[in-house]
Structure 1
Amino acid sequence: MGARMKRLTAVMSIMLVMMMLAACGTNNNTANSSTNTVKEEKPSGETEKAKPVTITWWNFPSFQALDGEVGKYEKEIIAAFNEKNPDIKVNLEMITFDGGPEKLNVAIASNSAPDLIYDAPGRIIDWGKKGLLAPLDDMIKDEVRNDISPAFWKQSTVDDKTVMYPINTAPFMMAVNKTIFEKIGALDLLPLDRPDRTWTFDEYKKALQAVKEKAPDVIPSGFFAKSQAGDQGTRAYLANLGVSRFLNEDYSQVAINTEDAGKALDWIVQAEKDKLVISGSAALAAADVNDLFLQGKLAFTINYSAVLKAQNATLKKAEFEEVLLPFPTLDGSKPKLEPYLGGMAIFNNDDEAKIAASKKFIDFVANDEVYGKKNLIQTGGLSVRNSITGLYNDPEYTYAELAREFITDPPTIADGWADVRTFWFPELQRVLLGDATGKEALDSFAANANKAIEDAKAKAQTQKK
């Protein structure tokens, strides 16, 4: 035996002795415990029980309230999940769309983020770009990935890693109080006899004028510019009235600062003076406008979807029928609608057990044989999966399915989006308050937004190096 082999044999012998001594020393600390205790073997066929794990789920009101109680349905989901996964405890905390975003920012800054969140790409993608989320690719089966449009995966992915598990969707569009038009004998002014319901800016203006003249106690249409909430409504509204995109196709620059979009914004200012658009829109939030719609005081609302239609069903303060409409376009061309996309994400809190448990919960919410479809219906949304259709016996959902053909790429996946959106409403307010023309405000927005996009790209490239 060579010297090298002898040294190796000696080292192995020493290690074996140390391991035996360590094994003897790991017995319990009672004074009279035996060093010869043999580990008890589990009976044949019995598997070791998983260690209990507790995860925290923060949830916006993504599901319709059950029996009028916010969070009650979510508790039902958790109870059903626990029947199959008794070792995972899920702590639920409901947050609101008004205060929730700031609460999340504070939690993230103080390293106390929840494990799970049900939200949309606008925030989730930003968190993903900051490295705050756990990748989900290992839990996505091929049959699921192939059943969902690449456009939805694009909104759920950062650097080729899936950070949001997409679940429900619906195109954002307008809604109109159909009952009002029936009462004033002007139903023919709405494009409801057209399968795709597309219509022109001029047709829309005629409908507003009819409400003003024949239903003076009803506000024809709404607009808002107080806060970021609902900004997708104002973006798509102006982009379609001006037949433009919000950002260009590669998300590198703002595209909405066109002459026609500027004129559309100027029209809103004049329409407010003409009582065709609600007064004081600069100080109104999206929720304020939709609340007036639910009270029957507003004929058109510009930030709606099949999801909101379902969630607002119990919030109506007046009896009326609302129907969904795409945004009108200047020339009658097909509209460009931004999609609502809801899904779940996991904050990476450096606990693999919690991440694994959170993935099990997401899979249950999205794919359980009973609760998968039940949860979709409770959101009021359409499934992101192409194979799951016809969930509702409702003509408005049939139309929402059809309107998916108008969905375009949303700007929310652009670099620096969290900063870009902060420049939008201040510019709208400047126009509404008479401090700038529509084109001036859109150009100012473009300058600030383009810089934010460029800065974010440069920062990302530096971090990769």
Structure 2
Amino acid sequence: MNTVKKGLMTLLGITLIGTQLVACGSTSTSDSTKTADPAPSDTKETTTTDTAKKDEAKPVEITWWNFPSFQALDGEVGKYEKQIIEAFNKKYPEIKVNLEMITFEAGPEKLNVAIASNTAPDVIYDAPGRILDWAKKDLLAPLDDMVTDEVRKDIPEALWKQSMVGDKTYMYPINTAPFMMGVNKTVFEKIGALDLLPLDRPDRTWTFDEYKKALQAVKEKAPDIIPSGFFAKSQAGDQGTRAYIANLGNSPFLNDDYSKIAINTDKAGAALDWIRQGVKDKLVVSGSESLTGGDVNDLFLQGKLAITLNYSPVLRAQNATLKKAEFEDVLVPFPTIDGAKPKLEPYLGGMAIFNNGNDAKIAAAKKLIDFIANDPEWGRKDLIQTGGLSARSSITGLYNDPEYTYAEQAREFYTNPPTIVDGYAEVRTFWFPELQRVLLGKATGKEALDSFAQKADEAIAKAKADAGK
């Protein structure tokens, strides 16, 4: 199999890749979880009825790097992961798992350095934006041998497209959630404008005009609250701004065969122009060009923002203990011009294995992934701890919460996300600079989207050509 070392030269010049997840401000911790010295054995899969064989399992040590994919226990980042490892070692005492927690801010750069220096971890829990890029650079071990026919059929095609390169699977899908908007429901209740939200509709779809009326009501009746958020700094959270503009303009982000950018339409350009005007009209947060997704999320947590545009059930769960003001937050889809069904990008979390050239480590990493995703007891617990929905269609009803019930339904709005496009890692770097040009008055919305499309199309074509060599 190919090793990470073989991909060294392709990674030496790589720039920092922003997170596909929402921007978060978690604290980095590093830890190593050890097991008792096991008796020697072979590395093959063992069964509970084959005790002698299990006793002979050869010890193997793997390193697991993890973003804060699971909610912290007792305020301690990584505490839940330690519990996973402890339970895993009861089944596989011969596998020692070294855990290192990394942050969404510093983690991507740390991974790039580790890959370039041939010190990548063995296994990681991450999202398609980075994982598919690594797979295309031949840095990962394929996982097809651990995907059963049952699992293959139970996970929607849109999610498999985010987990595969060609006909090979490189990410094991675990949790998902639709990226939507978050609303401070309490604000609308206090100003008597709850009826302006689409919460009484089963699918909660709404029009651009209805959305603007809701923002105007906040501006007039709650002048100390910012009606809506927007941001254009860094790369994190780009899926929020991307889907926001695409839906406001009823425009797809990519064409049907994912070969070109399609969001540079007149309607999407007009939506971007409206956002710039919204800043002037105090319907959109001021200084958007210099705000990150994390900055806007903080405003929402402080109760200073009525509607945020980069939200999901996962972020809602993470925010539950981080709120600096008491309010109820609910989920709504992005509005569209005529109230048509929105197109929502799916968040997907899953695990991948770096091909570090050691078959025993790869086999051990697969056992850890299978335990986290499919163990009869821990599989369900792990899903709930992510705050997300199961990637598997048959696993529902994990939460007794109407917002999760709605999120389950909103999966019908899933569309294929840009993360599957060739050259995505470079494509996303062109997005926010163009948004900033509009917000600073240096370009119209259409001009900025045309400029983005030109640069992105060139990156896509180049990536396709390189892949064909």
Please say whether Structure 1 and Structure 2 have the same fold, judged by a TM-score greater than 0.5.
yes
Q: CA separation in 1, counterparts of 2:407 and 2:369?
A: 25
The equivalences for 1:309-320 within 5 A come to: 309-320=316-327
1:38 maps to what in 2? none
Q: Which amino acid aligns with 1:459?
A: D
Q: Does 1:382 align with 2:389?
A: yes
1:414 maps to what in 2? 421
Q: CA separation in 2, counterparts of 1:359 and 1:269?
A: 48
Cα shift readout 1:78-124 (whole Å, capped 9, x = no counterpart): 10001111010111111111111111111111111111111111110
Q: Does 1:267 align with 2:277?
A: no
Residue number among 376, 390, 401 corresponding to 1:394 in the alignment? 401
Q: Which amino acid aligns with 2:155?
A: I
Q: Does 1:87 align with 2:87?
A: no
Describe the SS at the equivalent of 1:133.
Answer: coil
Deviation at 1:292?
0.6
Q: Does 1:326 align with 2:333?
A: yes
Deviation at 1:227?
0.8
Cα shift readout 1:387-428 (whole Å, capped 9, x = no counterpart): 110000000000000100001010111001011000000101
Q: Which amino acid aligns with 2:229?
A: G
Cα shift readout 1:210-232 (whole Å, capped 9, x = no counterpart): 00110011000000010110000
Q: Does 1:306 align with 2:313?
A: yes
Q: CA separation in 1, counterparts of 2:51 and 2:225?
A: 71
Q: How many residues align?
A: 419
Runs of at least 4 residues off by over 3 Å: 44-48
Q: CA separation in 2, counterparts of 1:282 and 1:397?
A: 32
Describe the SS at the equivalent of 1:175.
Answer: strand
CA separation of 1:88 and 1:215: change in aligned 2, threshold 3 A: same
Q: CA separation in 2, counterparts of 1:311 and 1:56?
A: 25
2:225 maps to what in 1? 218
Cα shift readout 1:65-87 (whole Å, capped 9, x = no counterpart): 10111110011101000111101
Describe the SS at the equivalent of 1:316.
Answer: coil
Q: 418-427 or 143-152: which moved more?
A: 143-152
Q: CA separation in 1, counterparts of 2:318 and 2:256?
A: 32
Deviation at 1:45?
8.1
Cα shift readout 1:219-249 (whole Å, capped 9, x = no counterpart): 0000001011000000000000000111112
Deviation at 1:457?
0.4
Q: Which amino acid aligns with 2:298?
A: D
Deviation at 1:371?
0.3
Q: CA separation in 1, counterparts of 2:177 and 2:233?
A: 24
Q: CA separation in 2, counterparts of 1:164 and 1:324?
A: 28
What is the RMSD computed on CA atoms of the aligned residues? 1.0
Q: CA separation in 2, counterparts of 1:122 and 1:249?
A: 20
Q: Does 1:148 align with 2:155?
A: yes
Residue number among 386, 403, 407 corresponding to 2:410 in the alignment? 403
Q: CA separation in 2, counterparts of 1:215 and 1:342?
A: 37
2:171 maps to what in 1? 164
1:6 maps to what in 2? none
Q: Which amino acid aligns with 2:285?
A: I
Describe the SS at the equivalent of 2:223.
Answer: coil
Q: Which amino acid aligns with 2:456?
A: A
Deviation at 1:274?
0.7
Describe the SS at the equivalent of 2:427.
Answer: helix
1:21 maps to what in 2? none
Q: CA separation in 2, counterparts of 1:210 and 1:99?
A: 39
Q: Which amino acid aligns with 1:325?
A: V
Q: CA separation in 1, counterparts of 2:240 and 2:62?
A: 34
Q: Which amino acid aligns with 1:304?
A: Y
Superposition TM-score, scaled by structure 2 size: 0.88
- The answer to whether the Cα contact below 8 Å between 2:178 and 2:344 also exists between their aligned partners in 1 is yes
Describe the SS at the equivalent of 1:303.
Answer: strand
1:282 maps to what in 2? 289
Q: 44-53 or 288-297: which moved more?
A: 44-53
Q: CA separation in 2, counterparts of 1:86 and 1:231?
A: 41
1:97 maps to what in 2? 104
2:453 maps to what in 1? 446
The structure with the larger Rg is 1
Residue number among 309, 317, 342 corresponding to 1:335 in the alignment? 342
Q: CA separation in 2, counterparts of 1:372 and 1:240?
A: 34
Q: CA separation in 1, counterparts of 2:284 and 2:394?
A: 41
Describe the SS at the equivalent of 2:154.
Answer: coil
1:26 maps to what in 2? none
Q: Which amino acid aligns with 2:277?
A: Q
CA separation of 1:45 and 1:351: change in aligned 2, threshold 3 A: closer
Residue number among 208, 213, 222 corresponding to 2:215 in the alignment? 208
Describe the SS at the equivalent of 2:330.
Answer: strand
2:65 maps to what in 1? 58
Residue number among 184, 187, 194 corresponding to 1:180 in the alignment? 187
Structure 1 gap ranges (5+) = 1-43
- Identical columns (%): 79
Q: CA separation in 2, counterparts of 1:409 and 1:159?
A: 15
CA separation of 1:135 and 1:323: change in aligned 2, threshold 3 A: same
Q: CA separation in 2, counterparts of 1:382 and 1:268?
A: 31
- The answer to whether the Cα contact below 8 Å between 2:245 and 2:271 also exists between their aligned partners in 1 is yes
Q: CA separation in 1, counterparts of 2:191 and 2:52?
A: 73
Q: Which amino acid aligns with 1:313?
A: A
Describe the SS at the equivalent of 1:146.
Answer: helix
Q: CA separation in 2, counterparts of 1:417 and 1:68?
A: 34
Q: CA separation in 1, counterparts of 2:166 and 2:194?
A: 49
Cα shift readout 1:28-81 (whole Å, capped 9, x = no counterpart): xxxxxxxxxxxxxxxx98436111111111111110110111110011101000
- The answer to whether the Cα contact below 8 Å between 2:158 and 2:414 also exists between their aligned partners in 1 is no
Q: CA separation in 1, counterparts of 2:97 and 2:322?
A: 29
Deviation at 1:174?
0.1
Structure 2 gap ranges (5+) = 1-49
Q: Which amino acid aligns with 2:430?
A: F
Q: Which amino acid aligns with 1:427?
A: E
1:369 maps to what in 2? 376
Q: CA separation in 1, counterparts of 2:51 and 2:444?
A: 76
